[in-house]
Amino acid sequence: MCLLATSEFSHEAVKKHQETVINALKTERDVSVRQRAVDLLYAMCDRSNAEEIVQEMLNYLETADYSIREEMVRKL
């Protein structure tokens, strides 16, 4: 999905799933899935959705596992 999000041909198609990815970030128990959600949100971020994605990631950062906080901060 991350590769698709960075492709100019499929970027818009992947963006349609933004809410699902944000929901996975908030509710998924598996840290590896949450890490992939962070990666995917970063890849799908553009001018049209940057404010919402950054806000969601900042909100999640408060409760994020230490294992992914450092990478999240670098991406923000």
Confidence of residue 1 (pLDDT cuts 50, 70, 90): low
Looking at the whole model, is its pTM more than 0.95? no
Confidence of residue 5 (pLDDT cuts 50, 70, 90): low
In whole angstroms, what separates CA 62 from the centre of its chain? 15
What's the rounded Cα separation, in Å, for the pair 24 and 33?
Answer: 8
pLDDT at 30: 93
Q: Given a cut of 70, is residue 40 above it in pLDDT?
A: yes
pLDDT at 6: 57
What's the rounded Cα separation, in Å, for the pair 10 and 57?
Answer: 23
For the chain, give every domain's residue range.
Answer: 2-75
According to DSSP, residue 7 is labeled: S
